[in-house]
Amino acid sequence: MFQPMALTFIFAMIGAMILCLTYVPMVSALFLRVPKNDKKSYGDKFVHWVERKYEPLLTKSLSKGKVIISVAVALFAVAIFAFTKMGGEFIPQLDEGDLAFHAILKPGSSLTETIETTTKIERIVKSEFPEVKTIISRIGVADVPTDPMPMDIADVFVILKPSDEWTSASSKEELLDKMKEAVSIVPGVNFEFTQPIEMRFNELLTGVREDVAIKLFGEDLDILASKAEEMGKIIASVPGVADMKVEAIDGLPQITVNYNRNKLAQYGLEINQLNSVVQASFAGGKAGVIFEGEKRFDLVARLKAENRTSINDIQNLFINLPSGAQIPLKELANISYEPGPMQISRDNTNRRTYVGINIRGRDVKSVVEDIQVRLDEQFELPPGYFLRYGGAFENLERASNRLQTVVPIALLLIFILIYFALKSFPQTLMIYLAIPMATIGGVFALWLRDMPFSISAGVGFIVLFGVAVLNGLVMISGLNELKEEGVTNLRDRIVEGTKRRIRPIMLTALTDILGFLPMAISSSAGAEVQRPLATVVIGGLLTSTLLTLFILPIFYQWVEKRSERKVKLNPNYVTATAIVCLLFTIPSAKAQEVASRMDTTIVQQESYPEIVLDSAVTMARQSYPSLQTGKLEIQRQNVLKASAYDLGSTQLFTGGEEIASGQGIYTLIGIGQQNIDLLSIGAKSDYKNNVLH
């Protein structure tokens, strides 16, 4: 479903990366010029204003880091709690603009009765609701029975006018409630309201037309029917259950013929003979074949229509006896109406029935959880019978399980890419904290807009995680650049680095927020699926940007202070300091002679200039004698590496040979190479490398 969006995003990012490395530098060199004046634009003024307001807030945040981090952790805990109470659904319900509902009559209703009932329903809807443009009913199946349906169920499709022409209702929910109340006066009919595409979509995915199906599996049809009715009574009172249907698997009236075997033996008749007579009389029996060209048709004979309409026609059916006399069938068998199975449904070869419900006013997940609680408390099943939940809830569970696999993989890949960019595990963890902070905004945004979690929102979280870490990467990279430039004061580095990165951070966040804003507020067709995704991204970017500007500098300050403490105790740096002191022993002795003639303070300032630790280590590496000796030895060994290759000696030679019959001399000139030592080159190279290292 979201594959086109993902592919579009991937190819757009690849194209942007290529353009940034090729087209943008070229165009910048051609068209960008140094401005002749220093007049600031409105954008520069706005950014400078933000920097002035941001700096004192950042300073206070750095001094109260523990309080701010505690508040962030508390908000994250509240967001997790809100997420658990949010509910969920597979995909948001689309507003198709039209309505559809099932008209379910009593089992065994004839086609004539179904037509009369649906016609009455159509007249009621058409007369009471001017919003209806067209209404049509479909009964039975087409010539190709890909969608089997009995004659006692009709699909009624209601095509509506544009919403600005509605008069009796202001919303689709209100219109649906009024329409349901209007058609409820038709006796003996149950209704299930849905939408045309949604009805087919549910049936194609899970085999049921309702939003949720509670499937009951077992062997005995009578037990399945009774338990399904009991389950329907329990479910009907759950809040959010709008329409409910218990699948009818029994109750179809059938004419049953039970033969009296004693009388059959008395009259000398056989059961197969009687079955053939009954079948030929009512269903038709083959009496011959008719040919029409190359086509062949069976000639079927049966009773007239008026003689096969009731049970009396079967009871009064005369049977020929071997003696030539006739006797009515009711003298040989007990003929009566008995309820029989209406249909037998199977899932994976297992018999099942189901209770289907449509949900309105609540999300699918919370309704199913309430149903599960009630069934666990009030519903008992015999051994060998079990329940399964299908429909939209089954799709939600399947998609949620898929997300539980995809999301950790995406998070791991993000972590690896950040680590490759920074080559620092602590800094990677700092940037990774943007993900829980972004989650806070995404969850609260869904909660404020009263949206349950859906697969659309889940995809939005995946998009958000990738975008949220980008600002953190920009911030940490800027702070590391200042550190390499020699800004050693930690507080100054943080303040200066964050002020430098305000512009790119704000641009990144604002462009993404403004890009998703039309999706978040859209009300066009299909916007129901887009809104949760855009809402999650916008809310998450707001909180992740605050993390980047305030919480991330706090963590950076803590990590850098800890690393500085480790540097002070590092034995390598202690050794380097001792070497520096040794190197300056001789210059300090000479300085003592001069110090007797000058003021002590001036001599100390000239003889011992202040240097930082990194400069001292650099000077020690350049001037310490043993290090210089080691460098010379390395150079000598590199020169000696060439001696490992012994290609021998080269010789030039000539020769002559007379050509037959005294026609001249054939002169040869050649080059030869002798004493080549190829096999020992590897061993000699290894030896030289070992000596070198």
pLDDT tens-place string over residues 240-293: 888 788 887 777 778 888 999 998 888 888 888 888 888 888 888 888 899 988
Residue 297 sits in which domain range? 253-341
Same domain for 610 and 669? no
Residue 558 makes CB contacts below 8 A (sequence gap 6+) with 65
Q: How far apart are CA 267 and CA 326, in angstroms?
A: 11
| 272 and 333 co-located in one domain | yes
417 domain-assigned: no
Distance CA 15, CA 10 (A): 9
Q: When comparing pLDDT for 393 and 15, which is higher?
A: 15
Give the CA radius of gyration of the chain: 45
Residue 427 and residue 559 in contact, taking contact as beta carbons nearer than 8 Å: yes
pLDDT of residue 626: 66
Nearest-angstrom CA–CA distance, 403 and 384: 33
Specify whether the CB–CB gap between 133 and 171 falls below 8 A.
no
User: Residue 534 burial (CB < 10 Å; 0-12/13-18/19+)?
Assistant: buried
Per-residue confidence (pLDDT) for residue 325, from 0 to 100 = 87
- At 401-430, the pLDDT tens digits run 888 888 888 888 888 888 888 888 888 888
Is 609 in the same domain as 669? no
- Segment 566-584 shows an average pLDDT of 45
> Is the residue at 182 inside a domain?
no
* Short-list 329, 182, 173, 313, CA closest to 258: 329
Residue 566 has a pLDDT of 60
Residue 144 has pLDDT above 50, yes or no: yes
Could you report how far apart the first and last alpha carbons of the chain are, in Å?
59
DSSP-H helix ranges across 290-433: 311-315, 364-378, 392-422, 425-432
Q: What is the pLDDT of residues 447-460, one digit of tens each?
A: 888 888 888 888 88
Rounded Cα gap, residues 510 and 534, in angstroms: 13
Shared domain check, 266 and 337: yes
**How much is the pLDDT for 612?**
63
Tell me what pLDDT residue 575 has. 45
Rounded Cα–Cα distance for residues 277 and 323 (Å): 17
**Largest alpha-carbon pair distance within the chain?**
160
Strand order in the sheet with 99-104: 132-139, 153-160, 99-104, 190-194
3-class secondary-structure state, position 624: coil
Looking at residue 307, its pLDDT comes to 83
The closest of 625, 616, 627 to 581, measured between CA atoms, is: 616
Task: Give a yes or no: residue 44 inside a domain.
Answer: no
Q: Between residues 605 and 538, which one has the greater pLDDT? A: 538
- Three-state DSSP class for residue 67: helix
CB 343 within 8 A of CB 251: no
Instruction: Give the CATH number for residue 302.
Output: 3.30.2090.10
The proportion of the chain whose per-residue pLDDT surpasses 70, expressed as a percent, equals 81
**Rounded Cα gap, residues 637 and 689, in angstroms:** 8
| Structural domains counted in the chain | 3
Q: What's the confidence (pLDDT) of residue 653?
A: 67
Tell me what pLDDT residue 679 has. 58
Pure H helices in 569-654: 571-583, 585-595, 600-607, 613-623, 625-640
Burial of 459 per CB tally in 10 Å (0-12, 13-18, 19+): buried
User: CB-based burial of residue 205 (10 Å sphere; 0-12 exposed, 13-18 middle, 19+ buried)?
Assistant: middle
pLDDT value, residue 337 = 85
> What is the 8-class DSSP label of residue 93?
P
Residues with Cβ < 8 Å from 567, sequence gap 6 or more?
573
More confident position, 141 or 553: 553
Query: pLDDT at position 658, please?
Result: 62
User: Which residues lie closer than 8 Å to 14 by C-beta, 6 or more apart?
Assistant: none
Helix 455-484 with 527-546: angle, nearest 10 deg: 30
Residues 278 and 336 in one domain: yes
The verdict on 268 and 330 lying in the same domain is: yes
Of residues 304, 314, 369, 347, the one with CA closest to residue 88: 369
Taking the whole predicted model, whether its pTM rises above 0.75 is answered as: no
Distance between CA 112 and CA 352 in Å, rounded?
Answer: 30
Q: CB within 8 A of 88, min separation 6: which ones?
A: 363, 364, 365, 366, 396, 400, 452, 453, 454
Domain endpoint, select from 341, 356, 380: 341
Same domain (yes/no): 260, 336: yes
The domain boundary, picked from 321, 341, 361, lies at 341
Q: Same domain for 608 and 670?
A: no
Q: Does residue 612 lie in a domain region?
A: yes
Whether residue 288 is found in the same domain as residue 330: yes
Domain-embedded: residue 285? yes
Burial class (CB within 10 angstroms; exposed 0-12, middle 13-18, buried 19+) of 381: middle
Q: Domain for residue 416, yes or no?
A: no
CA 455 to chain centre: 6
Residues 336 and 260 in one domain: yes
**Do 584 and 613 have their domain in common?**
yes
Instruction: Using a pLDDT cut of 90, give the percent of the chain over it.
Output: 1
- For residues 612 and 669, membership in a common domain is answered with no
**Does the residue 616 lie in any domain?**
yes
Highest mean pLDDT: which range of 3-7, 203-207, 341-345, 385-389: 385-389
